[in-house]
């Protein structure tokens, strides 16, 4: 009985605190995205305007985001019955957007970032009794004019 109560309490805490932290992180992401709205990031290998380039530099942004206990439980249930695991989609979305924002922050003064790539990996996915996390690395070439 005690185990069931601990499980339910952990589930509720994961839901409440995880929801709050996720909403706060999304709000922070949206605010910073408006700050960097004028810095284009493109996947093309060549700059939009090849003339007038003074210098270029490799820039990157890296983030590791963990999944909360509630989302892990919901994902476990969806895994049993099959279907789209929406709880992980918001995790991946936050991680990608945050990595791109960190890359843009590193490219202060750049006019554009070209050849942008995203690398995603899972951390502690197969480790027993662990909370999973996702790592996203965004990198590209910052062009300075």
What does the block give as tokens for 82?
């099959």
- Give the model confidence (pLDDT) of 37-52 as tens digits: 999 998 988 888 888 8
Say if CB 121 and CB 93 are below 8 A apart.
no
- Give the model confidence (pLDDT) of 56-92 as tens digits: 999 999 999 887 777 777 777 777 887 777 777 888 8
What does the block give as tokens for 110?
């750049």
pLDDT at 130: 57
C-alpha 54/C-alpha 138 separation (Å) is 23
Q: What percent of the chain has pLDDT over 90?
A: 43
pLDDT at 131: 59
Residue 39: Cβ within 10 Å count: 17
pLDDT at 35 exceeding the cut of 70: yes
Q: pTM, whole model, 2 decimals?
A: 0.81
pLDDT at 103: 97
Paired strand residues for 55: 144
- Give the model confidence (pLDDT) of 91-141 as tens digits: 889 999 999 999 999 999 899 999 999 999 887 656 565 557 889 999 999
The fold of 2-144 is Translation Initiation Factor IF3 (3.30.110)
């Amino acid at each position: 009985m005690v185990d069931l109560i601990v499980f339910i309490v952990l589930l509720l805490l994961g839901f409440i605190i995880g929801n709050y932290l996720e909403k706060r992180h999304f709000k922070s992401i949206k605010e910073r995205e408006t700050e960097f709205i004028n810095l284009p990031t493109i996947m093309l290998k060549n700059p939009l305007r090849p003339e007038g380039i003074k210098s270029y530099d490799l820039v990157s942004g890296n983030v590791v985001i963990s999944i909360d206990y509630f989302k892990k439980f919901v994902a476990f249930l969806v895994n049993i019955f099959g279907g789209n695991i929406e709880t992980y989609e918001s995790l991946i979305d936050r991680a990608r957007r945050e990595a791109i924002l960190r890359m843009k922050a590193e490219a202060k003064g750049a006019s554009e970032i070209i050849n942008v790539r995203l690398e995603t990996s899972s951390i502690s996915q197969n480790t027993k009794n662990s909370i999973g996390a996702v790592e996203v690395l965004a990198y590209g070439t910052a062009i300075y004019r």
